[in-house]
Amino acid sequence: MTDWTPYTARATDWFRQLRDAICAEFEAIEREAGSDAAFEYTPWTRAAVEDEQQETGGGTRGLMKGRVFEKVGVNISAVSGGLARDFAATINGASAEQNAFSATGISLVAHMANPHVPAVHMNTRFLTTTKAWFGGGADLNPPIPYEEDTADFHAAFRQACDAHGEGYYERYKAWADEYFYIPHRKVHRGVGGIFYDHLECDDEAAWEANFAFTRAVGETFLAIFPRLVRRRMGMAFTPADKATQLEWRGRYAEFNLVYDRGTLFGLKTGGNIDAILMSLPPEATWS
């Protein structure tokens, strides 16, 4: 059985680098808007679950509230230990009897002040149980959609996918469309993107290939999303536009609290509550 520890360390280092690059770019956008907003970083330690004797790992919650980014969280984590036994059976390669795991990743959600600027979600991660795999993706969530923004976002991720696997874009776009859907509302959470999971690593070569793709997802996000923000952040908006945004945010909150796998995984593995729920919007309405 492969010792994935050094590979997990490499992935963690990359996620930290990506976090730093994203946060620097978002702060630069705030400066362009005349704001001195900056990220505040709060470290946290994982709480032990079930019969574990000690905490194992933790992460850092990065949060900024500014003029352009009404609320944006960029979190990194690196945790390990044992999954709760009633939860382990739901995780790839784990069971009540074999519940050891490790997980490292980056998770980002941005809610924007201007309703013309799309909100966004991105995460990439590497997990090990009796198996090892990558997962992640990014999806665009505009309260007021623009075809140009949707087309550019998808074109960027199509290019990233096509460079790493035949059929990746079609497969992972369809997976995002299926996953980011609110059944009780019968609507999608946004205009989609890509979503992939259980990209398994049977050996070192597979790990390197999947890690390269995962890095491409992060780099693509860093290239395309700030471009969309700068395109829309200076647009005037009306009270009606803001009302549309707040109602849409309610749908976003419903998905994350009811259906999102990442929310459940964080809560079930002793994650930091504030970091897990940073995805929720700062303000929302329900009619």
**221 domain-assigned:** yes
Between CA 123 and CA 202, with CA 16 as vertex, the angle to 5 degrees is 65
- Give the residue numbers annotated as catalytic, written as ranges: 121
Q: Tell me: the pLDDT tens digits for 78-89?
A: 998 888 787 888
Whether 48 shows a pLDDT value over 80: the answer reads no
pLDDT, averaged across the chain: 93
For the residues 135-150, what does the mean pLDDT come to? 98
Residue 286 lies in a domain: no
Is the pLDDT assigned to residue 95 strictly greater than 90? no
Residue 60: inside a domain = yes
pLDDT tens for each residue of 114-123: 999 999 999 9
Q: In what order do the strands lie in the sheet with 192-200?
A: 40-45, 57-64, 69-82, 100-112, 119-128, 132-141, 192-200
Q: What is the pLDDT of residue 268?
A: 78
* Enclosing domain of residue 241: 5-279
Q: Is 112 a domain residue? A: yes
The model's pTM is: 0.93
- Number of independent structural domains in the chain: 1
Sign of the torsion formed by the C-alpha atoms of 223, 255, 192 and 218: positive
Q: How would DSSP label each residue in 67-106?
A: SSEEEEEEEEEEEEEE--HHHHTTSTT--SSS-EEEEEEE
Instruction: Provide the pLDDT for residue 99.
Output: 84
Helix (H, G, I), strand (E, B) or coil at 222: helix
**Is residue 74 one of the residues assigned to a domain?**
yes
* 175 domain-assigned: yes
**Least trusted range by pLDDT, from 13-27, 115-129, 216-230, 259-273:** 259-273
Domain assignment present for 287: no
Token readout for 248 is 């849409």
pLDDT over 70 at 105, yes or no: yes
**CATH number, position 106:** 3.40.1500.10
**Residue 284, in any domain of the structure:** no
Burial of 144 (0-12, 13-18, 19+ CB in 10 A): middle
Q: Distance (Å, rounded) from C-alpha 223 to C-alpha 227?
A: 7
Distance, CA of 216 to CA of 222 (rounded, Å): 10
